[in-house]
Structure 1
Amino acid sequence: DGRFWVATNRTLCEFLSSRNERGHSFRAYPKSQGLGAYEIVSLAEDQYGNLWMGTNSAGAMKLARSGFVTFGEEDGFTEISAIFEKTNGELCVVGGVPGNLTGSVAEGVRIDATDPASILYWRRLGRFDGQKFTWLRPNAPKRIKSFFGWGWNQTALQDHTGEWWIMTYGELYRFPKTNRFEDLKTIRPKAVYTTQDGLASPDLFRIFEDSSGDIWISSISSIESGLAQWERVTETWHDLSRTDGLPSFKEHAATAFREDRAGHLWIGFSWGGLARYRDGKFTYFTADDGVPPGWIYDLYVDHAGRLWIASTLGGLARVDDPSADRPTSITYTTADGLSSNKATCLTEDRYGCIYVGTSRGLDRLDPATGRVKHFTSADGLVPGEIVVLFCDRKGDIWIGNPSGLSRLTPHLDPPQSPPPILINGLRIAGIQQTVSALGESTVALPDLAADKNQLQIDFVGLSFALGESLRYQYKLEGADREWSPPTDQRMVNYANLAPGRYRFLVRAINSDGVATPTPAMISFTILPPLWQRWWFLMGVAAFVAGAAYLAYRYRVAQLTKLERVRTRIATDLHDDIGSSLSQIAILSEVARQEDELSPRVAEPLDQIATVSRELVDAMSDIVWAINPHRDSLPDLTRRVRRFASDMFTARNIAFHFRAPEGEADVKLDADVRRQVFMIFKESINNIVRHSGCTQAEIELEFKKGRLQLRLSDNGCGFDAAGPSYGHGLMSMRERARSLGGELEVDSQPGRGTVVTLQVPITRRRDLPE
């Protein structure tokens, strides 16, 4: 802004362009105005117009271009409970001053705990002349209890005629008109009002003057609170505590007053609720009507005629049309950006922004945009919960609480540039990493071991704009797809990260919603554990493949060896035992044909021949079952067909045989072939011996990995559900179960028999030669 500053070893000076009789002049800033040290060695201005000073002994200091001017104990007062203006525009406050003045213990604000008779601060009335505060005790009896009552925000006033109204415990003092603030020390009260004059209760809490000049005063008591109105025309008091339309003052108390543009008086109550006084009648509104919950601490009517309501539990509410029969409200809470849902006081600046005192500082709400800016002690605001707000005629905002008083001259916010963002802390697996003390915008980490997969990252955005509350968004590329929701937290923790390449990005967002164009970044790679490395996996895969191949070769060798053994056994059985049995059968037949043989010899020879032929047939079946060259479905089909043909032809039974074609690749294990054939053979024997049929059907089918053998006849049948007297069916079912299959027999007397066998078959390949 073109101002010229000079730093010396004694103070900070501002060069003034105006001349006096001695030429150009300078303005010095002593320690009493907040300077932390005299010896200033460097000066610099930031992008927001703030002046920064470096010192040898007090670190860095900032002279804000625009911000809060705060008064506190070092200025000789504290405990600010009320702020108002005189009729001539001078600012007045109710606060506490050091206790070296004359007064009663009951007037004390703070009392030394070690000596209850020692007053630390007295409650007094102060006036600000633009540079400093002047304090006085209004002319009242020496011993009064609780000067200015025990309330806050509205505890004293100068009415439109210039008269002064000051509360104490049990008494309301009315001083005559005076334009000189100092006259209050000596001027005698015009009247002193008590409960005998119409006050509802001695515990005075709030006072208010409406547009007709009437005075409203509330009292809060643990027994019963009250509300009273002083009518200016008649100068009489009216106790309204039991007026229709108001809540019970045993449970509620009037805690705030405000008059809307239509001249209707609004009254807020403890424990919730709001009353409107219109045309001589009260209307009471509750939470069901949209009144926020909690104590109504303050009410305010803005330049647009909207009524604002501050509550201790529900934040802030806005009534756009207070004159409506059933007004509706819009609420603002922490979800809308307020710093706390405990709103304590309200005012408005010249630009139409609403200021909200809360338990966490001061919020500024722009009703046009809904944007909220938050001010704290870091901006120079008086620390602690705000209890009173006031906008003076010049447009300055005054903020008071038990810690002191602050003044803010509002300005339109200039466009803010995106705030820079820096990484200022990093821990990997709990171990602090080296990061520049000034922060770094880019951090590249070496490859991290697999067990170093927990990171704690600290970051900070830099903004020195007044009331700026930065929020942050971050994401971890490689794990997150989107930016995180905005947050005021300046630390993030990632645990159990999987191996891979990552890039952590973080950006700051100012109150205008502008984000950092270039996020701060940390890039790193977490290596996989040894057993996940590519070369290790390749080695394991090669080992497994080799082992599988060796196992395969071993299995092939074993199966080949087994087939050779089976082939040798089948050959030996056929060539040796089979030929010997055939020879026995032939020789017994030759011997039987001798004429000289007696019946005693001929009968055994017949039995020998018969048994020999049966053994030859059985041996043929065994050789067929063992022979590995017969392990196929077509071989089983041919064997079944031939046996059926032999048996049915001998008994003149007509039969139909159906079998699949083109299934030469279906290989069967020896045991499967043998068991299926034995079940088939037993079934054929039963048909031939017991059914008495003239026609039979045989169907062999392979479908969906299952072999199905179905035999049916038109014979006599039997009761399949009845008791089984033979061993045949039991043996057939046992053979089927041993193969994991099922055998079903469907038969009724006189309706023939159907035998169905289903066996699961796994295709197998021929072994290599």
Structure 2
Amino acid sequence: MGGGQQGLFALDLARRTRKRYREADPAWPLHGCEIEALSEGANGELWLATNRGLYCLQPATGELRHYGPDEPPPYRLPTGLLRCVLAAHPDSVWVGTLDAGLLLLHPRRGVQRQLTLGRGLPSEAVAFVLAPRPGRVLWVGTHHGLVRYEPRTGRRSDLTTADGLATNELNRQSSWYDSVQQRLYVGGVGGLSFLAPQDLTTPEYQPRLLLTSLTQHHAQPDTIRTDYLAGTLPKGLELAPGDAFADLALSLSDDGGSALGRFTYRLRGTGPAPWQELGTSHHLRLQGLEPGDYTLEIRGETELGTPTRNLLRVPVRARTYWWRRPGVWAALTALLVAGAVGGVYGWQQRRGRRREQHWQAEHALRQRIAADLHDDVGNLLTQISMHSDLLRETPHTPAQTRARLDALALAARQAGQQMSDVVWSLHAGPLRLSQLLERMRDHAQEVLPPAGLDVQFRVAPDLPDPVLAPALLHHFYLIYKEALHNVVKHAQATTVTVQLAAAPAGLTLTVADDGRGHNGRPRPGGRGLASMQGRAQAVGGTVRYEPLMKGFAVVVALPLAG
């Protein structure tokens, strides 16, 4: 048997002929598949990896079983784009995929194990899988090197060009084990490599500990800044007077999620410092440090207890106001004793002004942090975090506490509503245009009548009702929301008209109001019009703005192919 781009073929090697299997049956599922690899099972069944999932064929009876992303459990796979298959045991079939790593499949129980990027493999794309006798070790070729994997213990080690391979990007159907010479041959885009598996040492894989980002509050000027470090260490971290905190984000070099590693840290100063557990949290916050110089040391380990190969060390300096430094008060006391009453009075005045300036700076900090960060979910969540931190760490009057809680609740509701709409548009599944129109009507009734606006929908009778692509659905709905939001916020209108019509290239959406009008240019500090332009361009559409005799219109043209 052999596979190709047009299905499965029976080969007669002696006559050098081929015949497509089940040629007389035009509905045979394998005729429309591109067969990437075949493997014979222990009971004579044939396992076929294709671009439409995995098939198990009983050649004697013609019985065919399909495994794929649209099948019910236990026949469901995370992807249908397969590249290789190895029937290692009657109950164990290894399946290599293009975008979901390596799968261990039990024919009757489904997927039992999945090795992906960050959880056992350096790449999601698997080119081949080979198990030389006695089969206790798998050799997995990926697009980022060769992996030696022991299924029973979970131990693994990687081989790359740094270890002598000709290339890191290995090709499918390009591996062979010579049992006589005991050599493993692997091929890739950079040539052919061979190695002797029995001579390789297999130390336990140790990931690197990475510092991925640093978020720090600065009192002067009042900002919160995040630097993405891409694994590099900063030369040092300095906390100035008034700086509230510094957050360090940690990760492992093959980490697929924040819960896959455990971390400990210590802050070494002049004396001994014990190691403290950070647990599975991948954020370390520094705040409230006594003035001085420190060395922050961080170490990590995988969920299986394997330590990282490196220890992070970051110099930290916590500065203080000059009048809090050791010895300053003694000098000031001597000056008070020796000075005149006028000098004492002047010093007290200066000290009072410093306190007033400090209070004013703290008050300005609270006011600025309370500002609304407009239309982005990330900004709204940052508001919630900042308000929560200030409520916990800064003393407030009852009135200030009530005001900040009101602002936090409003931001949470706005973030929840916006996130709900975004999640709906991304995960609603395949929807028709008529279903989206129902959602648009519901949203208009939620936001326009409470703002004193009437709404009219005009839908062309010849409007098609296709299934919308996910990206088109997502951007179309968010453009519509932004247009309604701009009317409520800026137009001073009484009526909003929403019109949907078919166009030669797809669909036209018009949101018009009878308000005070607009020239179509962005307002200072505004991002709504630019956001709609960017979303339309992302799916091959356009947005134009049309001033009306009375009011303003947003006209969106989008291709239905999305």
Shorter-chain TM-score category?
0.3 to 0.5
Please tell me whether Structure 1 or Structure 2 has the larger radius of gyration of its CA atoms: 1
TM-score, normalization by structure 1: 0.31
Pick the structure with more helix per residue: 2
